[in-house]
């Protein structure tokens, strides 16, 4: 009953607080460092109360990020009393009490839009215990601090380069591409639930991408409000050769493209070469043009290949992998 009364009182204060016009505003960047309004991701307003202050932090969309009772604002916010945290869409994250900026007593954490929750009891000696677990731990897609490979992106690239083994059959067939992986980084940094959300079109390359992912050491886990949480992580992993190589777009449903690309990935590039001669360059899509250019390059018609690379460079999205490959080959072999 005491907890219910505290929440009720705070919500009454919160409602009246939202209706007032405040002049004192402090802006914060993504790391909660004081910043100018231009670089801000959050802002804070507050009002004086009988026992101290009621502090209201907000997202830039004006949704509440935190409402908390405090005994001091400057030079440091001192949280003493009840606090509630929210996602940017207004859904509650957690709530409980503070004593000198330390969580104390029972804190409720909400999952699945508030349909599920867990309770953690924080003790005065700094320890804590879970009183009630949620039926299913939430896996976050947006977090305050992102999960990170130990040492950062540069170390992850080195790890992949040192461990990735290009499938020999794919190398012989001049197959390349990019596998888009999705996985979960747990609270302890371990990786699980690995899956491919967009494959290369070659089973051996896709399996190798998963194998390397499972070799990775523990990551630095993501965190929310200073606590480690599960989060999803997407990672593209590329297979590329020094010489021109074929790629496969699994989302392209053009029948002519599918027929030629399937032959290439089945190791029947010579058959695909004779079929591609009938492709009208003015009507073909980018994927088909790219495979046609590689087929002509492989079967010694370099002049025609260069003409197609030039056409791709004029039509393709400048940020696409096909454009980057085509532009590279054109500069390397056609100039």
Q: How confident is the model at residue 175 (pLDDT cuts 50, 70, 90)?
A: very high
The string of pLDDT tens digits covering residues 60-110 is 888 999 999 999 998 899 999 999 999 888 889 899 999 999 999 999 988
Count CB atoms within 10 A of the CB of residue 64: 18
**Per-residue model confidence (pLDDT) at position 197:** 86
Residue 236: closest CA among 183, 187, 290: 183
**Per-residue model confidence (pLDDT) at position 18:** 44
Residue 6 scores a pLDDT above 50: no
Of 35-44, 291-300, 303-312, the poorest mean pLDDT is in 35-44
Q: How confident is the model at residue 319 (pLDDT cuts 50, 70, 90)?
A: confident
**What's the Cα-to-Cα distance from 45 to each of 23, 32, 129, rounded to whole Å?**
8, 14, 33
**Boundaries of CATH 1.25.40 in the chain?**
255-333
Q: How confident is the model at residue 321 (pLDDT cuts 50, 70, 90)?
A: confident
* Alpha-carbon gap, residue 78 to 70, rounded angstroms: 5
What class does CATH assign to 153-239?
alpha beta
Residue 135 scores a pLDDT above 90: no
Any idea what DSSP says for residue 251? T
The rounded mean pLDDT for the chain is 87
3-state helix, strand, coil in the chain (%, to 5): 35, 30, 35
Count CB atoms within 10 A of the CB of residue 147: 23
The string of pLDDT tens digits covering residues 201-233 is 999 999 999 999 999 999 999 998 788 888 999
The string of pLDDT tens digits covering residues 109-131 is 887 778 788 899 999 998 888 88
**Boundaries of CATH 3.30.2420.10 in the chain?**
153-239
248 close to 217: Cβ distance less than 8 angstroms:
no
% the chain with pLDDT above 70: 92
Q: What CATH number has the domain spanning 255-333?
A: 1.25.40
Q: How confident is the model at residue 237 (pLDDT cuts 50, 70, 90)?
A: very high
* Alpha-carbon gap, residue 149 to 285, rounded angstroms: 38
Q: Is the pTM of this model over 0.85?
A: no
**Per-residue model confidence (pLDDT) at position 218:** 95
Mean pLDDT of 17-41: 73
Kindly give, in sequence order, each residue whose CB lies less than 8 Å from that of residue 165, ignoring residues fewer than 6 positions away. 208
Give me the half-sphere count of Cα atoms (radius 13 Å) on the Cβ side of residue 39: 9
Any idea what DSSP says for residue 247? -
Q: How confident is the model at residue 307 (pLDDT cuts 50, 70, 90)?
A: very high
Decide: residue 123, CB within 10 A, 0-12 exposed, 13-18 middle, 19+ buried: exposed
Of 77-81, 141-145, 172-176, the poorest mean pLDDT is in 141-145
**Per-residue model confidence (pLDDT) at position 137:** 65
Identify the residue with better confidence: 282 or 162.
162
Whether the upstream peptide bond of residue 294 has omega within 30° of 0, thus cis, is no
Facing residues of 227 across strands? 224
Written as one string, the DSSP assignment of 140-191 is ESS-SB--B-TT-HHHHHHHHHHH----HHHHHTTB-EEEEEEEEE-TTS-E
Angle at 144 between CA 139 and CA 146, to 5 degrees: 70
Q: How confident is the model at residue 2 (pLDDT cuts 50, 70, 90)?
A: very low
49 close to 80: Cβ distance less than 8 angstroms:
no
**Per-residue model confidence (pLDDT) at position 117:** 86
Helix (H) or strand (E) holding 195, with range, is strand 191-198
Residue 12 scores a pLDDT above 50: no
Any idea what DSSP says for residue 26? E
Q: How confident is the model at residue 146 (pLDDT cuts 50, 70, 90)?
A: very high
Residue 244 scores a pLDDT above 70: yes
Kindly give, in sequence order, each residue whose CB lies less than 8 Å from that of residue 231, ignoring residues fewer than 6 positions away. 139, 140, 141, 143, 146, 147, 184, 185, 221, 222
Residue 10 scores a pLDDT above 50: no
């Amino acid at each position: 009953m005491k907890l219910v009364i505290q929440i009720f009182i705070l919500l009454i204060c919160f409602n009246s607080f939202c209706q007032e016009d405040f002049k004192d505003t402090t802006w914060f960047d993504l790391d909660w460092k004081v910043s100018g309004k231009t670089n801000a991701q959050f802002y804070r307003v507050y009002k004086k109360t009988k026992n101290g202050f009621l502090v209201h932090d907000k997202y830039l969309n004006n949704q509440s990020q935190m409402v908390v009772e405090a005994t001091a604002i400057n030079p440091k916010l001192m949280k003493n009393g009840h606090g509630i945290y929210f996602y940017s869409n207004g859904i509650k994250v957690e709530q409980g009490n503070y004593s000198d900026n330390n969580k104390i007593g029972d804190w409720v954490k909400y999952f699945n839009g508030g349909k599920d929750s867990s309770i953690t009891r924080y003790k005065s000696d700094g320890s804590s215990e879970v009183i009630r677990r949620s039926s299913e731990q939430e896996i976050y897609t947006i977090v305050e601090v992102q999960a990170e490979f130990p040492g950062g992106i540069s170390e992850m690239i080195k790890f992949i380069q040192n461990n990735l083994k290009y499938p020999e059959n794919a190398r012989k067939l001049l197959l390349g591409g990019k596998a888009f992986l999705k996985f979960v980084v747990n609270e302890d940094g371990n990786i699980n639930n690995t899956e491919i959300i967009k494959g290369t079109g070659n089973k051996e390359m896709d399996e190798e991408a998963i194998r390397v992912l499972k070799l990775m050491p523990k990551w630095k886990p993501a965190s929310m409000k200073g606590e480690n949480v599960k989060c999803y992580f997407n990672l593209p992993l590329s297979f590329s050769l020094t010489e021109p190589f074929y790629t496969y777009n699994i989302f392209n449903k053009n029948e002519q493209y599918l027929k030629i690309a399937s032959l290439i990935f089945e190791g029947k590039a010579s058959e695909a070469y004779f079929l591609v001669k009938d492709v009208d360059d003015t009507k073909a899509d980018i994927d088909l043009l790219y495979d046609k250019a590689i087929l002509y390059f492989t079967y010694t018609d370099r002049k025609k290949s260069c003409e197609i690379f030039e056409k791709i460079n004029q039509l393709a999205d400048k940020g696409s992998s096909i454009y980057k490959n085509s532009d590279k080959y054109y500069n390397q072999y056609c100039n």
